[in-house]
A and B are shown apart, each in its own frame.
Chain A
């Protein structure tokens, strides 16, 4: 059947039409997004069981997080999602230069997101706001094991974690340590996905510069956008769950 008319050049041999190739590609990408959702669901289950069993610990530990930085990060990711969606539109219409600009903006937003996250992480590292197993953590079960450097650094940090830690019972301290364990797991895994997204966008920019994309061959851009939107979607749920516990 496919011999009837010239086989379109960028359609793989085992597909009959470009549309089938695009549809199958999108379908495959959506299935991959399912696995990403299930992948994060493991951590959301850990989060939910911890929060469900000791809600007061979460409420207490959350004020150690900087909600303003979290909000800025959310805005940054939303804008990057918007520009990537614009990029897909440009690819469909063949506007290669506009596509490159949008991809660059998305890349920069992703970089900004990682920058803010880096700043948050170093702040927590110095303040000792870590999981109780960490060497640098303030929330160790017996406080004699807290490193002196962490002790004095967090004493005059703006959240004064060491004073709080001393006020807690050992069990409460362990639970707060668990909150930070799941905090770093969730945001860390999400951060890794943002980094992978940046690599993906860089590769798309390079291919676009080579002129691979046009109105009837923009699959890679569309699927890259889908991946980026899922990363943004997961942050949309992460932000209120971690930062906005009253």
Chain B
């Protein structure tokens, strides 16, 4: 049954204004998707330019100032424009209401306003890039960004850009938390929510509670730059370490805004592709919220050598170890989910395996940076660069790409090319490891971070890393190309190609504008038996469908509470 004729959310209205002024969460999700992918490639180009520059000691293609602008904008664009909105806003917007069987998020107009704020913030960032070029590092550390940086207009523009993007993130978080609290269908208790929604809910809490502080910090930088109020300027009695406290109070929870949604995607992938109920559902759900809470009491581990007092450093170091426990529980539970399953190694599952590898290394290398003794040698070296790339780019990118491939049939009604997907995924993971594993060793050998030019003995590590960076860039380009081609040329996708049991797979191959005519019956989100493989359909069909609604599966009668 081809999915082209009937009206769905893609062809129900045409034209720019029907997309730009849409209130439909699915269209907003798609627009976020393409915007964040575009910003990711822009940031990627900066990264590749830096890698070419760092291929050998001495100046290759850019000057010192240009290099400083490159790493600043690479960091700022990737953090504020790409990785914070990517999984929650792009995939979350598209999937969350459908997973809840709802028609839309709680505040559709606010959702649209968030996307428009994202665009405005992006314009501010690009204009700051074109003005004088921001060279303060994405962290805007105080006396340099507020007083000494020559890029006056760029700092003010970028700071307002970050302020606006902060509100875009707050409103997204606000929307999701309100939707999960108030718009769950009857029968969907908190412990029958899919784990992706738990992760998005925990991320929403962090977005609400942490982002305002970066808003006020950015405003203070702008006011400090324009009116010289001197709160962070030591020449006027201010305190630069106070800026670091205010900055990292947001920025550490922000890294959990980046990783938690990816973990949510992973819970869905492991369970669906192993055709098995997720192992330790309540532990994973509680781990998401635990990580969200603990993320607020650990920010000082970024400041062990910044002049922070020893007492507070010790407390921060101890608290940071508590983050490791819920994370470990999640990873072990996912591996346990694979036990005795029937694993379908499709592209999303390769990204899930990649996530285990990359987040394994990323998370464990965090232990060196939490232990007070080893952090002093490793702080602000390439060890830290490799650590956060493994955790942020490695794991969050795996979640983003895994989620894109997993929900691609539902988004466009087309299947992506499986073989190409698997090859590109392996290429990306290998390329990533070749890029960032040598940087760990460069870091322990003492190569400092943000260096335009480095000593002779670090050359070998940078050369391998540059080679790996191009391998990564190539794989990402292939992925982009075959995904775009699959929109028109991909095989027509069935309603449920993977056999996922969450509610978004109970909609038509391409969902209609308001998702469900009437909210489907809510069962256990990981009860794989309600769908079985059907050869003709080349997808999964409900075991006993609701008469008249072929896609909606009837939950099993005795599917008691999922405890």
Let me know if B178 and A177 touch, CB within 8 A: no
Measured CA separation A171–B238 after assembly (Å): 11
Q: Does A60 sit within 8 A of B, measured CB to CB?
A: no
Q: Tell me what chain A mostly uses at the interface: helix, strand, loop, or mixed.
A: helix
Q: Determine if A203 is an interface residue (Cβ-Cβ < 8 Å).
A: no
Q: By the criterion CB–CB under 8 Å, are A177 and B212 in contact?
A: no
A69 at the interface (CB under 8 A from B): no
A242 to B559, CA, bound (A): 60
Contact B170 A181 (CB under 8 A): no
Interface size on B, residues (CB 8 A): 44
Q: Is the CB of B229 within 8 A of A49?
A: no
B237 touches A14 (CB 8 A): no
Q: Are A131 and B229 in contact, with the CB atoms below 8 A?
A: yes
In Å, the complex CA distance between A40 and B217 comes to 10
Partner of A24, one of B183, B227, B514: B183
In the assembled complex, the Cα of A181 lies from the Cα of B238 at a distance in Å of 10
Number of interface residues of A (CB under 8 A): 39
Complex partner residue of A185 from B104, B107, B178, B223, CB under 8 angstroms: B223
Answer yes or no: A132 CB below 8 A from chain B CBs: yes
The reply on B182 being an interface residue by CB < 8 A is yes
Residue of B104, B110, B228, B230 with most chain A CB atoms under a 10 A cut-off = B230
Please state if B103 and A42 are interface contacts (CB–CB under 8 Å): no
Say whether A42 contacts B220, CB under 8 Å: yes
A135-160 vs B, Cβ < 8 Å mask (1 yes, 0 no):
00000010000000000000000000
Among A1, A46, A133, the residue within 8 A (CB) of B242 is A46
When C-beta atoms are compared, the residue in chain A nearest to B25 turns out to be A14
**Given A20-B182, A35-B212, A43-B216, A14–B102 Cβ distance below 8 Å?**
yes
What is the CB-to-nearest-CB distance from A80 to chain B, in angstroms, rounded to a whole number?
A: 24
B178 touches A134 (CB 8 A): no
What chain B residues lie within 8 Å of A24 (beta carbons)?
A: 106-107, 178, 181-183
CB distance from B311 to the nearest CB of A (A): 15
Instruction: Give CA–CA (A39, B208) in the complex, Å.
Output: 10
| Residue in contact with A45 in the complex, picked from B105, B215, B246, CB distance below 8 Å | B246
A24-B178, A35-B212 known; A133-B108 Cβ under 8 A? no
Set of chain A residues within 8 Å of B165, measured between Cβ atoms: none
* A14 interface neighbour in B103, B170, B220, B245, Cβ under 8 Å: B103
| Complex partner residue of B217 from A23, A42, A131, CB under 8 angstroms | A42
Please, how many angstroms separate the alpha-carbon atoms of A181 and B226 in the complex?
13
* Minimum CB distance partner of A13 in chain B: B103
Q: Report yes or no: B237 in contact with A42, Cβ–Cβ below 8 A.
A: no
Q: Check if B430 is an interface residue, CB within 8 A of chain A.
A: no
Would you list which residues of chain B between 59 and 113 have a CB under 8 Å from chain A?
Answer: 102-108, 110
Assess A171 versus B208: contact at CB under 8 Å? Given A131-B229, A131-B230. Answer: no
Residues in A whose Cβ lies below 8 Å from that of B242: 45-46, 49
Min distance, Cβ A55 to any Cβ of chain B, angstroms: 15
Distance to closest chain A CB from B202 (angstroms): 15
User: Which B residues between 226 and 252 are near A, CB-CB below 8 angstroms?
Assistant: 227-231, 233, 236-239, 242, 245-246
User: Which residues from B are CB-within-8-Å of A43?
Assistant: 216
A178 pairs with B208, CB closer than 8 A: no
Among A1, A38, A46, the residue within 8 A (CB) of B231 is A46
Quick check: which of A25-33, A70-78, A96-104 contacts chain B, the rest being far away?
Answer: A25-33
Contact status B209-A28, CB under 8 Å: no
Q: Is A174 an interface residue (CB 8 A)?
A: yes
With an 8 A cutoff between CB atoms, is A233 at the interface? no
Known: A20-B182, A46-B242, A177-B236. A182 touches B231 (CB 8 A): yes
Whether B233 pairs with A34 at a CB distance below 8 angstroms is no
Residue among B178, B215, B231 making CB contact with A178, cutoff 8 Å: B231
Answer whether residue A63 sits at the interface, using C-beta atoms and an 8 A cutoff: no
Q: Roughly how many angstroms separate A43 CA and B246 CA in the complex, as a whole number?
A: 10
A36 neighbours in B (Cβ, 8 Å) = 212
Decide yes or no: A133 and B208 within 8 Å by CB, A28-B174, A35-B170 being known contacts: no
Residues of A within 8 A of B170 (CB): 35
A232 at the interface (CB under 8 A from B): no
Instruction: Give the residues in chain B near A189, CB-CB below 8 Å.
Output: 216, 219
A residues lining the B interface (CB < 8 Å): 1, 12-15, 20, 23-24, 27-28, 31-32, 34-36, 38-43, 45-46, 49, 131-134, 141, 171, 174-175, 177-178, 181-182, 184-185, 189
B interface residues (Cβ-Cβ under 8 A, vs A): 102-108, 110, 170, 174-175, 177-178, 181-183, 208-213, 215-217, 219-220, 223, 227-231, 233, 236-239, 242, 245-246, 514, 518-519
* Chain A to chain B: the 3 pairs with minimum beta-carbon distance, closest first: A133-B228, A42-B216, A174-B237
A-B contact pairs, 7 of them (CB 8 A): A14-B183, A34-B208, A35-B174, A35-B208, A39-B216, A46-B246, A184-B229
In addition to A14-B102, A42-B246, 6 A-B residue pairs with Cβ atoms within 8 Å of each other are A24-B107, A34-B208, A45-B246, A132-B236, A141-B236, A174-B236
